[in-house]
Amino acid sequence: MAEKELTIDFEALLKDVNADFPVYQALDENGKIINENLVPDLSDEELVELMTSMVWSRVLDQRSTALNRQGRLGFFAPTAGQEASQLASHFAFEKEDVLLPGYRDVPQLIKHGLPLAEAFLWSRGHVAGNNYPADLQALPPQIIIGAQYVQAAGVALGLKKRNSKNVVFTYTGDGGSSQGDFYEAINFAGAYHANAVFYIQNNGFAISTPREKQSAAKTLAQKSVAAGIPGIQVDGMDPLAVYYVSKKAREWAANGNGPVLIETLTYRYGPHTLSGDDPTRYRSKEMDDEWTKKDPLVRFRKYLTEKGLWSEEQEEKVIEATKEEIKQAITDADRVPKQKVSDFLKNMYEVQPQNIKEQIEFYEAKESK
């Protein structure tokens, strides 16, 4: 008797996996609550503080762009459009939690405790931009795509071994989720139930490569399945939902349950970096216009104004105060002595071989003239 052929419905299997990752959203584009269950328990003062941070970040983006074009700032990756994804997520963590940022995550790093002048020095490639205060629980922004994920897994395991209730939180973009480091990190952290929250800030493009060409997965959050950890997708332009999901993820990780992967659906209004990228070559005006309607600042502004917590006058005060803060910080950065070739050589070697000593003497003689 012939064996009965086993029928496997692969399409149904795929459909089941894809169905498990809805987009969590609390606030619609008009600033109206559409899901009361996702509204976080934040006081009026905390809501205003979060909005202030988001406005501050937008001004920092604008002024940093201008400073870069003036030749007063070095490397810069624009952040406009990602304020909710970045600042509302950071708002859910504690000062003692450890932040491992990517190069676009400088706003969170500053809010975590890095002086703004040092952030500007980091942008210029100055070693002083990496001399962090002793109480700053963070590492410098990682330039290698996704490498901060591997570092985060290691730090998180260290916290786990110390029975710490603090967590590591780290960010990468949609392009970073295509890197080998990404899976290695979430798999390692998941295997050891390490204290970590991993963010994929899905802004639609890895430089110019669109999200749909990076992975056949319907969501990036579902990549968590392979590592055996929870994955969740949230509207990254909605500060209330981002905060709520982040807070719950932090609690889960801090209580020893292992890591969480969060995909925030967001958008960057500017180029990938100011180092030559032209987004008009790969993004349409229609796409930009559609995401402009979802602007996290506009959405949150409408919500807070309706509650009587925000006004145009308040926002103007924040804008002017931020401009003054930036002006002072760039002045402070300008006062730091410029680096010398001899300094690079001294910093590179703890014990200098004879040929390096000779080079140091050579350059010191030239620099003293």
From the list 259, 182, 253, 169, the residue with the least C-alpha distance to 220 is 182
Side chain identity at 318, as an amino acid letter? Answer: V
Check if 268 is active-site: yes
- CB under 8 Å to 105, separation ≥6 — which residues? 86, 99, 141, 171
Strands 196-202 and 168-173, how do they pair? parallel
Which of 112, 126, 250, 268 does the annotation list as catalytic? Answer: 268
CB 17, CB 225: distance < 8 Å: yes
Q: What is the DSSP string of 204-265?
A: SEETTEEGGGT-SSS-SGGGGGGGTS-EEEEETT-HHHHHHHHHHHHHHHHTTS--EEEEEE
Helix (H) or strand (E) holding 53: helix 44-69
Burial class (CB in 10 A: 0-12, 13-18, 19+), 190: buried
Distance CA 219, CA 211 (A): 10
Which of 132, 183, 192, 282 does the annotation list as catalytic? Answer: 282
The three-class DSSP label of residue 126 is coil
Check if 282 is active-site: yes
- CB under 8 Å to 58, separation ≥6 — which residues? 80, 83, 297
Check if 199 is active-site: no
CB 100, CB 169: distance < 8 Å: yes
Strands 23-24 and 260-265, how do they pair? unpaired
- Burial code of 49-87, b = ≥16 C-beta within 10 A, e = fewer? ebbbbbbbbbbbbbbbbebbeeeebbebbbbbbbbbbbb
Which of 63, 104, 272, 301 does the annotation list as catalytic? Answer: 272
Q: Which residues are catalytic?
A: 268, 272, 282
